[in-house]
């Protein structure tokens, strides 16, 4: 029923409207963000959202909901099971 941290796992869903608005549920935490990229830890792994003029419009940490507006170019899940590949991505992201 609950994860190792004593917290129930929430459903992870993404709803995109017109490539301009994202509604994301099941977000554990926001790792980093700026106007070109968001990195979110979700119930299904890390999610990278890239685009232009990205802004966080809503953040509800308790419920795990995030709303992002801007031009969305790319949504990518990072495979947590690949070890070195995800470390390589983080190395590139935080150069």
Question: Within the chain, which residues score under 70 in pLDDT?
Answer: 1-7, 80-95
pTM of the full structure: 0.75
Does residue 50 sit within a domain?
A: yes
Contacts 24+ apart (CB under 8 A), 45-48: 45/77, 45/78, 45/79, 45/80, 46/77, 46/78, 46/80, 46/86, 47/75, 47/76, 47/77, 47/78, 48/74, 48/75, 48/76, 48/77, 48/78, 48/89, 48/93
Domain span including residue 84: 14-93
Indicate which CATH number applies to the domain containing 64.
2.60.40.2000
Count of the separate structural domains present in the chain: 1
pLDDT of residue 79: 75
């Amino acid at each position: 029923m609950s994860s190792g941290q004593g917290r129930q796992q929430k459903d992870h869903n993404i709803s995109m409207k017109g490539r301009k608005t994202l509604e994301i549920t099941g977000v554990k935490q926001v790792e980093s963000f700026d106007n070109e990229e968001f990195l979110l830890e979700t119930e299904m792994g890390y999610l990278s959202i890239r685009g232009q003029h990205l802004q966080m419009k809503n953040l509800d940490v308790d419920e795990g909901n995030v709303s992002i507006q801007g031009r969305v170019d790319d949504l990518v899940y990072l495979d947590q099971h690949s070890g070195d590949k995800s470390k390589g991505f983080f190395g590139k992201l935080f150069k």
